Amino acid sequence: MQPSVFLGLAELAPELEIRFGEPMKNHTSFRVGGPAAALLLPKSVSELRAAASFLRREGIKHYVMGNGTNLLFPDEGYDGAVVKTAGVSAAEREGETLICAECGASMASVAVLARRACLAGFEFAHGIPGSVGGGVFMNAGAYGGEMAEVVSSAVWLDKDGREHESAGAELGFAYRHSNFTEADLILSARIRLRPGDGEAIAARMAELSEKRRASQPLDKPSAGSAFKRPKTGYAAALIDEAGLKGFRVGGAQVSEKHAGFVINAGGATAEDIIRLMDEVRAVVLKNSGVELEPEIRIIR
């Protein structure tokens, strides 16, 4: 993809940073992935709108990502434009119990903002490494909490660039699911919390952080839970029961600390990770009759 393709975008958003041939391993928590033809790095909602409008109008293949904590890009790279929203990250208190956060704001930063404002209900998100946009898209959750419980509304663009604000049942929240599709672009979300005690909120966040450190392989590159929770049982338990803790393909490994995590143990490729996940699914199915569904989003 030649830089000249983006001349029209430069006129719409002259300050927008565009990198060509940027390795996606530098932008994902797995530290894996070849070069994107172009990486767009907007730093405001207006730049994000301009980028989305231009890419759609010109028919350029593209993918919108947040902090890259749940993604796996192929080793050969991505032959289109990747839009990384991490720079679109403003968040502020709105009224007594609302926080309005742009799509690229990290879940952790919003949790800290809530704590400082003595607003309870978002403690579960403090250790989730992703962005608000990604969290809304997949109804992210942890330790008994999820976005469905706190998201009041979301502002988004449809595939034709029309803006909408959806709330309640329109969001379609279910386990790791919302009504948003790959063609939609979440711009921001309003998060409704409740008044709380700042010290109690901080204590709960510290408690959950310690649980994560004790149970998860935070010292190794990964994309969090590799598989969704099945209808019966838990993915980690099923993988452990199948004798797959520590199972390795190339540089990819099932974590010995938490069987629900696939880690980059050193020099892993995307192909290593995909082959390992396929093998885990096959063995677990044979062992338990349960078919695991990947939670990691594999980009093609």
Active site residue 291: no
Q: At what angle do helices 107-116 and 198-215 cross, to 10 degrees?
A: 150
Catalytic residue, chosen from 19, 56, 93, 176, is 176
Catalytic residue among 131, 178, 225, 255: 225
How crowded is residue 160: how many other Cβ atoms within 10 Å of its Cβ? 8
Please tell me which residue in 46, 209, 295, 297 is annotated as part of the active site. 295
Compute the residue count for the chain.
300
Active-site annotation holds for 31: no
Q: Please spell the DSSP secondary structure of the chain, one letter per residue.
A: --GGGGHHHHHH-TT-EEEEEEEGGGGSTT----EEEEEEE--SHHHHHHHHHHHHHHT--EEEESSSSSEE--TT-EEEEEEE-TT---EEEETTTEEEEETTSBHHHHHHHHHHTTEES-GGGTT--SBHHHHHHHT-EETTEEGGGTEEEEEEE-TTS-EEEEEGGGG--BTTB-S--TT-EEEEEEEE-EE--HHHHHHHHHHHHHHHHHHS-TTS-EEEESBPPPSSS-HHHHHHHTT-TT-EETTEEE-SS-TTEEEE-SS--HHHHHHHHHHHHHHHHHHHS----B-SEEP-
153 is known as an active-site residue: no
Strands 261-264 and 222-225: antiparallel
Write out the catalytic residue numbers.
Answer: 176, 225, 295
